[in-house]
């Protein structure tokens, strides 16, 4: 089975702890991870090494969706997340692995993501576009500093 890999890099004007929290808070994740045109539901989240998560994306226009879940492999607070993802759809076989690294820099956080094992039926370019949309939403969530 062939698979795809995408790599992303950004500098985000927010502290690493805020970005890290956005990955592990179910309400935050449901707000920013689904790409444009979709909304997310987190069904399960155990943010600890060996813990599991389950999430679904639903297309607002058609009502169709897909679900996926996985295991947290590595969690280094404010520095690194590594987790797996498996689609519930048997037409999207295999296990993906995503590694997120966060490094504090002068103006915020250097963000890097590597997603490996993307099923070959998902074009890498579409996955990359989806990540770009998700990162726009992540930035809108984590960059504002709102008192109180």
Q: Residue 93: pLDDT band by 50, 70, 90 thresholds? A: confident
In 1-148, beta strands by DSSP E: 3-12, 38-45, 52-59, 65-76, 80-87, 96-105, 108-119
State the burial class of residue 145 (Cβ atoms within 10 Å of its Cβ: 0-12, 13-18, 19+). exposed
* CATH number corresponding to 3-142: 3.30.530.20
| pLDDT reported for residue 1 | 61
pLDDT digits (tens, 9 = 90+) for 62-92: 999 999 999 999 999 999 999 999 999 988 8
- Domain limits of the chain? 3-142
pLDDT digits (tens, 9 = 90+) for 94-138: 999 999 999 999 999 999 999 999 998 889 999 999 999 999 999
| pLDDT reported for residue 92 | 87
Span 33-38, average pLDDT: 95
């Amino acid at each position: 089975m062939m698979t795809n890999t995408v790599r992303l890099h950004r500098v985000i004007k927010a502290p690493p702890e805020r970005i890290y929290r956005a990955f592990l808070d179910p309400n935050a994740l449901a707000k920013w991870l689904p790409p444009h045109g979709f909304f997310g539901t987190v069904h399960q989240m155990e943010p600890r090494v060996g813990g599991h998560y389950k999430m679904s994306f639903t297309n607002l226009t058609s009502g169709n969706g897909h679900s996926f879940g996985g295991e947290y492999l590595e969690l280094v607070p404010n520095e690194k997340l590594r987790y797996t993802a498996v689609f519930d759809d048997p037409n999207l076989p295999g296990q993906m692995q995503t590694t997120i690294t966060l490094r504090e820099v002068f103006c915020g956080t250097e963000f890097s993501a590597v997603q490996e094992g993307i099923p070959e039926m998902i074009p890498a370019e579409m996955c990359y576009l989806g990540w770009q949309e998700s990162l726009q939403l992540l930035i809108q969530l984590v960059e504002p500093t709102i008192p109180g």
